[in-house]
Chain A
C-alpha cells in the first residue's frame, strides 16, 4: 500500500482562517512533510479532531477527516482505529480541547495505548474563543477571563504522560520545523499511542508565550538521553522554566492495544459480513 512517490503537494494547499504569524502555519507544513515523507498517501490517513483553531488544521490538507466535538477527538479516533486498524489515525487538537475538555480521554488514551498519534497544538491559551486561560496557561497569567491572573496551576502533559507510562512522549516547537517533522514521523511510526505536544505561539491572544519566548527556552534533548529511562524522562518533563527540553522524552515499550484481543484480529470491520452460522451457534446456547 505504501507509495514511494508521495510529496507534500499531494496534501494540497489551502487558504486558512489563521492569523498571520500563527504557529499553526508551520505545524501544518510540518505535518504534510512528515506524512509524505513516510510515504503515506492522503487516502491512507484519517485525521480526527476536536474543535478549536488547532482542530481546523486537517481542513487545510487533503486527507480523510472527522471533525468531531470539542474535547472528543481521542475517543472518536479510538473508535475509528479499532474499526480499521489499517488506517493511520492521527488526532490533532489544541491544549484546551485535549487537556481541558477532553482530559479524561487523554488519560484513558494513554492507558489504552491504541496505535494512533496525538498532536497537541500547545499555545497556552484559548484562541478560538479569544483569549481565555487554557490548562497550560501559567499560573498568574492575566487574561480577560482571569483578570486577577490564572489562579490554577498549569497542567504538565509531559509529566502526566511519563507518570502514566505512556508509549511515546515527545515535545516539539513550531519554530524548529525540521526537528518537528522528525518527531511527528517517529510518533506515527511508533506502535501504540504517541503524544507530541507542540509549542506554537498564539500571536493574537498570548502575549506572554511568544515566538521569542519559546525560541529562547526550547533546548533540544541530546542523543545521550535514553528515552527508555523513565526517571530521566520525568526529570526532563518537569523542566519547565528558563530552559525547556524538546525532543523524545520517553518511550515505554508497552505493547499496543489489542494485540491479545481476538475480535481485533479479524481485520477491518467494513470487510466483515454478518456471520449467521456463528450466530446460529450462539442462539443455541439459549435453548
Chain B
C-alpha cells in the first residue's frame, strides 16, 4: 500500500525538552489508535547541539523511521536549516516567535507561535507545542488532557491546571490559523489498550517476565536504559540492580550472582562489552546461564557514541577465548525485544551458556506501539536446583549425553558446589588429566547441538522466487519490509528474509531459499557485511550484492531503494 504515514520531527538543542514533547505526543497518538515508530537522533552532550525526536505515525502499519518530514517543530533556528529540505510539499514548520528564522525560514509554510501570549511561563513551552500539534492533526484534545493530568499528578492540581490552560490556549490558537495542513484521518474505532515502549524498555520487561532478578552494569550509551528501567521498577519487582566499578566487575558480578542462585542480565554497548569478554569465557567454562545485552553503536573505540550501527556481530560471535557454545538473538522490533529476551533467558538456562541480545541505538531508543504481552503463554523457565537427589555425590559438571549437568545452588543443601575456571573434573575441581579435558570439551560443545535444534528460523515475508530477496537481521527488519512494499508497488516482486537469531545458524532453515532467490541482497548496518560473511562461512552461499550503511544513521526504506538502484 502507498505510504500514508506522516512524520512529526521535533528538533532543538539538548536540554530544551524535545523528548518530553515527543513522548507525550507519541503516547497520545498510540492511545488514539495510530501506529507509531519513533527514531531519536542525539549528540553526545547534555546541553546544546542538535537533537531530534521523530514520530512517524499513521493508521496503516508503520515499519521504520524515514527521511521525510511533514510537521517540523523547531525549537531553534538550526532545526529549520538542517531539516527544511526533508519537508514534504504542504509540510509545515512550527516555531516560536522568538526563534530567529530570518536566514533559514524563507519560502516555508511557517507558523510562528506567540508563546509569550499563550504561555505565562517558559516552562510550559513543551505543552504549548503539544496543543499546537494536536490541532494541526485535528486530534481530540481530551487524550492530551488526560496524559497531562497523569504526567503532572505528583505536582499537584495547580500545576495540572496551568498546563491544561496552556494546552487549551495553544490548541485554540492553532485552530484559528490557516496552515492548509491536511488532517490525519480519524482512527476507525476505539483501540484496545496498547503499550508504548522503546527497545531497551521491552528488553527490561522481557527479562522481568523471565524472572531476571539481578542486573549489574556500568553506564554506557545506548545500553544503559535497560538497567535504568530495571532500577526504576526494582521496588515493585525486587530486582537487585548494581552499578559496578567497571564493565569487568559488572560481568564477573553477574557470574557470581548466577552461581549463587540469581538470574542475571548484563546490558552494555560494544566498548563496554569488549571489557567483559574474559567473563564471557568464564561463563562458558563455568556453564553459567547469563544474558548479555549489547546495544550497538558505531566503533571502533569511542566511535559515534550516540548513533547507530550493526558493527559488533563479529565481536559478539567470537567474544571469549576458548571454545564454548552460545546463542545470539537480534530482535527486529520492540515487540521482539520482549519475547526474544524471554527466549534468551530460556536458552541460557536450558543450555547453561552465555546468551546475547544484539540491538542497536536505533532500536534501543525507538518508541513503538506494542500489543499487550501474552504473559500466560510464555514458557516457564527451569527453577534453580536447590536440593540435589544425593547431596554427598553431587557433581556440578557430571557428564551427560546432551552435555547438560544438574546445576545446584550452593547453600541450600549439604551438597558442595564447586566451579573452577581451570579445566575441571565432573565434581568441578581443577584437573590436568588430558582425557578429562577432552571429555569436558565435548560435553560443553554438545550443548551447542541443542542450541542449533532450538534455533529460531529466519522469518520470511513475501513469495519464494521473488525478483529480489532482501536479507537482513536485527533492527533493519522494518526498513526492509517497507522497501519491499515500495518495490512491489513499482512492479517488482520482492521478499524479505529476516534473522532474529544470528547464531547458531541452521542452514536447512534458509539455504534453499537463498539458493533459489533470483537476486539475494544482504542489507546491513555495517561496512563489511558481517552477516553475509557469516552465512558464507557457514553455508558457502555468497551474496553478490550488499546494501550497507555505516554513517551512524538507521537504515531506511529509501536508503535500501537507493542502494538497489545501483544493483538492479
- Using a CB–CB cutoff of 8 Å, the interface residues on chain A facing chain B are 41-44, 46, 48, 51, 56, 59, 62-69, 72, 74-84, 86-87, 104-105, 107-108, 261-264, 266, 268-276, 278-283, 286-287
Contact = CB atoms under 8 A, between A and B. Distances in A.
A266 B381 CA distance: 20
Contacts of A77: 256
Contacts of B373: 283
B238 A48 contact: no
Interface stretch (B1-9, B153-161, B206-214, B441-449): B206-214
A82 B278 CA distance: 22
B40 to A, nearest CB: 17
B419 A269 contact: no
Interface string B206-236: 0011110110100000000000000001111
Residue from B194, B255, B422 having most chain A Cβ neighbours under 10 A: B255
Contacts of B179: none
A67 B210 contact: no
A75 B248 contact: yes
Given A79-B253, A79-B260, A82-B242, 12 more contacts: A65-B417, A65-B419, A79-B216, A82-B240, A83-B261, A86-B411, A87-B260, A87-B410, A107-B245, A270-B260, A270-B261, A274-B208
Interface string B103-120: 000000000000000000
B248 A282 contact: no
A104 B286 contact: no
14 contacts: A48-B256, A64-B410, A65-B417, A65-B418, A69-B278, A72-B279, A79-B258, A83-B261, A108-B244, A108-B249, A263-B240, A269-B262, A283-B373, A287-B195
Interface in B365-382: 372-373, 375-376, 381
Contacts, number: 206
A108 B245 contact: yes
A24 to B, nearest CB: 15
Contacts of B249: 72, 74-75, 78, 104-105, 108
A264 B240 contact: yes
B527 to A, nearest CB: 33
Contacts of A59: 420, 429-430
B431 to A, nearest CB: 10
Contacts of B416: 42-43, 62-65
A264 B412 CA distance: 18
B193 interface: yes
A107 B246 CA distance: 12
A37 B376 CA distance: 50
Contacts of B252: 68-69, 72, 75-76, 79
Nearest to A67: B420
B415 A82 contact: no
A283 B236 CA distance: 11
A80 B244 contact: no
Range of interface residues on chain B?
Answer: 35 or more
A112 to B, nearest CB: 8
B209 A43 contact: no
A266 B239 CA distance: 10
A65 B420 contact: yes
B413 interface: yes
A68 B410 CA distance: 16
A286 B201 contact: yes
B205 A279 contact: yes
A80 B422 contact: no
A263 B411 contact: no
Nearest to B201: A286
Nearest to B376: A276
A84 B412 CA distance: 10
A210 to B, nearest CB: 29
A75 B384 CA distance: 22
A189 B367 CA distance: 50
B567 interface: no
A100 to B, nearest CB: 14
B439 interface: no
Residue from A59, A76, A261, A280 having most chain B Cβ neighbours under 10 A: A76
A264 B235 CA distance: 10
Residue from B260, B386, B413 having most chain A Cβ neighbours under 10 A: B260
A68 B234 contact: no
B282 interface: yes
Contacts of B244: 75, 108
Contacts of A266: 238
A263 B209 contact: no
Contacts of B264: 79
Nearest to A108: B245
Contacts of A68: 252, 255-256, 282, 421
B428 interface: yes
Nearest to A261: B240
B393 to A, nearest CB: 14
Contact of B238 (A75, A107, A262): A262
Nearest to A56: B430
Contact of B209 (A48, A72, A80, A279): A279
A225 B513 CA distance: 79
A272 B238 CA distance: 9
A82 to B, nearest CB: 5
Residue from B205, B236, B246 having most chain A Cβ neighbours under 10 A: B236
B254 interface: yes
B549 interface: no
Nearest to A267: B238
Residue from A51, A269, A271, A278 having most chain B Cβ neighbours under 10 A: A269
Residue from B234, B238, B372 having most chain A Cβ neighbours under 10 A: B238
User: Across chains A and B, which 9 residue pairs bring their CB atoms closest together, nearest first?
Assistant: A270-B261, A79-B256, A64-B410, A79-B257, A274-B211, A79-B253, A108-B245, A76-B256, A83-B260
Contact of B279 (A48, A56, A67, A69): A69
B208 A51 contact: no
A240 B386 CA distance: 48
B420 A87 contact: no
A263 B255 contact: no
A284 B262 CA distance: 26
B409 interface: yes
B436 interface: no
Given A76-B256, A83-B240, A282 B233 contact: yes
Contact of B263 (A75, A269, A279, A286): A269
